[in-house]
C-alpha cells in the first residue's frame, strides 16, 4: 500500500467508528486508491500523533471526540466555518506543508435534513438540546437556513446562554436552561445532549411537539435511540438519527481532500442494512 494516499480518523474511543467503511465506499465509487484507518489516540498524545501522521506522508485526518478543540488549536490555517465553530473535525496538509482545519459537521446535518429527509428548516421554530462541541459546529449552518427562531437549552444553562450570545449576530438565537421550553412548541427538535450516549432520553415536556414536528438525534445506533423513542411516543411527524449526518459530513471531508463529491445515498443505505443485521 506504499503508493496509496493515507487518511485516518483520530479519536478516543474509536473502536466502533464507521468512517473507514464510509471512506472506503467513497473511494470505490470514485475509483481512487487510498488507505483509511481508525486510530485510537491517548488523550494527552493528540498533537504528537497528528504531527507524526502528517510528517510520515498522511494526507488527511478526521477528528472526533475528544479532540476537536485540540485540532482547532493545532491547525495553521482555519476555514471560516471552523473558525466560527471553534472546533475542527477535518485536517489536511496544503502544498506548502501547512495543516489546514475545517469543520464539516454543520454541512452534514443540514444536507441530511434538507436534501435526504426533505425537512424544512426555513421559517421553523428550532430547539437544540445540548450545548457541547457538536452544537458549536452546526449552529451557523442551521442559521443560514433562516429558521424563524432557534433555542439552545442545556442542563448547565450558562453554557447555552454563552453559545446564544456568541452566535447572536446570525439571527434570533436564545439560550438557557430547560425551563425555557415550558409551554412552548417547536417544529424541529435536535437532540445533541449526552443523555443518549448513556441510554437515557432528555427530560422533556409532553406538549413540546406539534403534529408536524420533526425530531433529529445527532447520535445513532442499531436500535432507535431513547430520544427517538420519546419522539415517536409523542407522535412526532418524522424522526431520524444521525447516521445520515455522519455520512454527509464524511462526504464533505472527502471533497476537501480529493476534490470529488461522492454519492451518499447508497452508503447510508448500506450502513443502515448492516446495522439492522447486526
Q: List active site positions.
A: 68
Residue 136 assigned to a binding site? no
Residue 159 assigned to a binding site? yes
Residue 132 assigned to a binding site? yes
d(CA 163, CA 132): 9
- For residue 150, the cross-strand partners are 126, 173
Residue 149 assigned to a binding site? no
What does the block give as the cell for 207?
A: 406538549
The answer to whether the peptide bond before residue 212 is cis (omega within 30 degrees of 0) is no
Element (H, E) at 61: strand 58-63
Residue 217: partners with Cβ closer than 8 Å, 6 or more residues away: 190, 191, 196, 225, 227, 228, 240, 241, 242
d(CA 20, CA 265): 17
Residue 155 assigned to a binding site? yes
Residue 131 assigned to a binding site? yes
d(CA 205, CA 155): 15
Residue 130 assigned to a binding site? yes
d(CA 248, CA 168): 26
Residue 89 assigned to a binding site? yes
Residue 90 assigned to a binding site? no
Residue 156 assigned to a binding site? yes
Residue 225 assigned to a binding site? no
Helix axes 243-258, 265-277, angle to 10 degrees: 140
Q: Is 199 helix (H, G, I), strand (E, B) or coil?
A: coil
Residue 80 assigned to a binding site? yes
Residue 228 assigned to a binding site? no
Q: Go through 110-138 and write b for each residue having 16 or more CB atoms within 10 A of its CB, e for each that does not.
A: bbbbeebeebebeebbbbbbbbbbbbbbb
Residue 31: partners with Cβ closer than 8 Å, 6 or more residues away: none
Residue 18 assigned to a binding site? yes
Residue 258 assigned to a binding site? no
Residue 57 assigned to a binding site? no
Whether 277 contacts 35, CB under 8 Å = no
Give binding residues as ranges: 17-19, 64, 80, 89, 105, 130-134, 154-159, 218, 220, 242, 249
Q: Pick out the residues of the known binding site for shikimate.
A: 17-19, 64, 89, 105, 220, 249
Binding site as annotated, residues for NADP(+): 80, 130-134, 154-159, 218, 242
Amino acid at each position: 500500500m506504499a503508493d496509496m494516499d493515507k487518511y485516518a480518523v483520530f479519536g478516543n474511543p474509536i473502536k466502533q467508528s464507521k468512517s473507514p467503511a464510509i471512506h472506503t465506499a467513497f473511494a470505490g465509487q470514485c475509483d481512487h486508491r487510498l488507505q483509511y484507518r481508525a486510530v485510537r489516540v491517548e488523550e494527552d498524545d493528540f498533537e504528537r500523533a497528528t504531527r507524526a501522521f502528517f510528517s510520515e506522508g498522511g494526507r488527511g485526518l478526521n477528528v472526533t471526540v475528544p479532540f476537536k478543540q485540540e485540532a482547532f488549536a493545532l491547525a495553521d490555517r482555519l476555514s471560516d466555518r471552523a473558525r466560527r465553530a471553534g472546533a475542527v473535525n477535518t485536517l489536511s496538509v496544503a502544498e506548502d506543508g501547512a495543516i489546514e482545519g475545517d469543520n464539516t459537521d454543520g454541512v452534514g446535518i443540514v444536507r441530511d435534513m434538507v436534501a435526504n429527509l426533505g425537512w424544512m428548516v426555513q421559517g421553523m421554530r428550532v430547539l437544540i438540546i445540548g450545548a457541547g462541541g457538536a452544537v458549536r459546529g452546526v449552529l451557523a449552518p442551521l442559521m443560514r437556513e433562516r429558521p424563524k427562531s432557534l433555542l439552545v437549552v442545556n442542563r448547565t444553562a450558562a453554557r447555552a446562554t454563552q453559545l446564544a450570545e456568541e452566535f447572536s449576530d446570525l439571527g434570533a438565537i436564545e439560550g438557557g436552561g430547560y425551563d425555557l421550553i415550558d409551554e412552548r412548541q417547536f417544529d424541529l427538535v435536535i437532540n445533541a445532549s449526552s443523555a443518549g450516549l448513556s441510554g437515557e432520553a432528555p427530560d422533556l415536556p409532553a406538549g413540546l411537539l406539534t403534529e408536524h414536528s420533526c425530531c433529529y438525534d445527532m447520535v445513532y445506533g442499531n436500535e432507535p435511540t431513547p430520544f427517538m423513542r420519546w419522539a415517536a411516543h409523542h407522535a412526532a411527524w418524522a424522526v431520524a438519527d444521525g447516521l445520515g449526518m455522519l455520512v454527509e459530513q464524511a462526504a464533505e471531508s472527502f471533497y476537501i481532500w480529493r476534490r470529488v463529491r461522492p454519492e451518499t445515498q447508497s452508503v447510508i443505505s448500506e450502513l443502515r442494512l448492516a446495522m439492522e443485521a447486526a
